[in-house]
């Protein structure tokens, strides 16, 4: 169980790092966007940044959870992860 837990947590950390890199790519695209689209990109990036921070906090809670609370923390983490994925996918569609 401990080995599976560590693997799961490591996978989430890797995904979180990848999302940060993806956000950075979107920021670069936003800088190149037309002025009319810049506001939209900025709003989307703000929302992504906040959700990314929430995912990071949730991962921290998961890592601190005791064995008895870990499954509930995992469920909460998967919910936040799903919300981030959905927001990210909608943000990466070309306007």
- In the predicted structure, residue 53 carries a pLDDT above the cut 60: yes
Summarize pLDDT for 30-48 with one digit per residue, the tens: 777 676 677 777 888 899 9
Put simply, whether the predicted model's pTM sits higher than 0.75 gets the answer no
Q: Reply yes or no on whether the pLDDT at 95 is more than 60.
A: no
Q: How far apart are CA 80 and CA 14, in angstroms?
A: 16
Percent of the chain surpassing pLDDT 70: 95
Q: Do the beta carbons of residue 81 and residue 15 sit within 8 Å?
A: yes
pLDDT in tens, 55-75: 999 999 999 999 999 999 999
């Amino acid at each position: 169980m401990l080995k599976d837990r560590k693997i799961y947590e490591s996978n989430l950390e890797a995904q979180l790092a990848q999302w940060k890199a993806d956000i950075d790519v979107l920021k670069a695209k936003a800088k190149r966007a037309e002025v009319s689209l810049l506001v939209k990109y900025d709003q989307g990036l703000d929302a992504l940044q906040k959700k990314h921070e929430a995912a990071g906090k949730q991962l921290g809670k998961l890592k601190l959870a005791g064995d008895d609370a870990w499954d509930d923390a995992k469920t909460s983490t998967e919910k936040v992860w799903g919300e981030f994925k959905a927001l990210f996918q909608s943000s990466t569609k070309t306007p």
